């Protein structure tokens, strides 16, 4: 229960920090991810636009696009088991999955259409959502470090195939025979 409280507090702190910085200077590179607003700043430096054009320029994509999100994954006991880092790409979303303390062998991975992960069975995750994700292989040490691209999904809000849709989404891992739910994480973000 303490881990849930810490997770919720961490998410709230991140949301507060993101909200506080949303009207400051254009964002810079953080943790290897550059936000979309950097492109708009460079475009606006050629000629100083009048007030109306500047307002239009700042709204193009920057307030609706998220370039990076980290998903905290938990196991069926509610314990932290790793992360999934999602980043926007031209063809979809790149996923870097780093998990530990899993059973060795093959596992399937899916995006699900509900932003809920209630242990132990994660039945609240909803139905499969988005593009095809390759199976992963967990080593004998119980760890997996996989990177893959998922086409057919986006981190842009307002899109039908967005992982940031109303009601949220989740990332779900289960045994390859679909009999055991092993990990889940809710995909959330606060785009600037």
Q: What is the pLDDT of residues 164-190, one digit of tens each?
A: 888 889 999 998 766 677 899 999 864
Q: How confident is the model at residue 28 (pLDDT cuts 50, 70, 90)?
A: very low
Sign of the Cα torsion 34, 37, 40, 41 reads: negative
Query: What band does 114 get if pLDDT is binned at 50, 70 and 90?
Result: very high
Domain 68-187 is found in CATH 2.60.40.200: yes
Per-residue confidence (pLDDT) for residue 78, from 0 to 100:
93
pTM: 0.63
| Span 57-74, average pLDDT | 66
How confident is the model at residue 66, as a pLDDT? Answer: 66
Range(s) of the chain covered by CATH 2.60.40.200: 68-187
Check whether 20 has a pLDDT greater than 80: no
Q: Does residue 55 register a pLDDT over 90?
A: no
Q: What is the mean pLDDT of the chain?
A: 75
Identify the pLDDT of residue 188.
81
Tell me which long-range contacts 96-101 makes (C-beta under 8 A, separation of at least 24): 96/146, 96/147, 97/136, 97/144, 97/145, 97/146, 97/147, 97/148, 98/143, 98/144, 98/145, 99/73, 99/138, 99/143, 99/144, 99/173, 99/183, 100/142, 100/143, 100/144, 101/75, 101/142
For residue 157, is pLDDT > 90?
Answer: no
Mean pLDDT of 75-96: 94
Q: Where does 90-180 show beta strands of DSSP type E? A: 92-99, 105-112, 128-129, 136-138, 144-151, 169-175
Q: Residue 2 phi/psi, 5° resolution?
A: -65, -35
């Amino acid at each position: 229960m303490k881990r849930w409280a810490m997770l919720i507090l961490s998410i709230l702190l991140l949301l507060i920090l993101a909200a506080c910085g949303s009207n400051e200077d254009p964002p810079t590179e953080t943790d290897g991810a550059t936000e979309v607003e950097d492109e708009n700043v460079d475009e606006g430096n050629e000629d100083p636009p009048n007030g109306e054009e500047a307002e239009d320029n700042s709204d193009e994509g920057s307030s609706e696009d998220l370039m990076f999100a980290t998903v905290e994954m938990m196991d069926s006991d509610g314990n932290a088991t790793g992360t999934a880092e999602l980043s926007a790409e031209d063809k979809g979303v790149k996923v870097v999955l780093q998990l530990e303390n899993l059973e060795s062998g093959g596992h399937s991975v899916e995006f699900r259409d509900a932003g809920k992960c209630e242990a132990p069975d994660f039945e609240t995750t909803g139905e499969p959502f988005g593009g095809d994700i390759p199976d992963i292989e967990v080593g004998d040490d119980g760890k997996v470090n996989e990177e893959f691209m998922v086409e057919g999904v986006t981190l842009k809000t307002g899109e039908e195939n967005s992982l940031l849709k109303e009601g949220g989404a989740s990332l779900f891992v289960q045994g390859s025979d679909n009999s055991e739910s092993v990990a889940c994480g809710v995909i959330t973000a606060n785009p600037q």
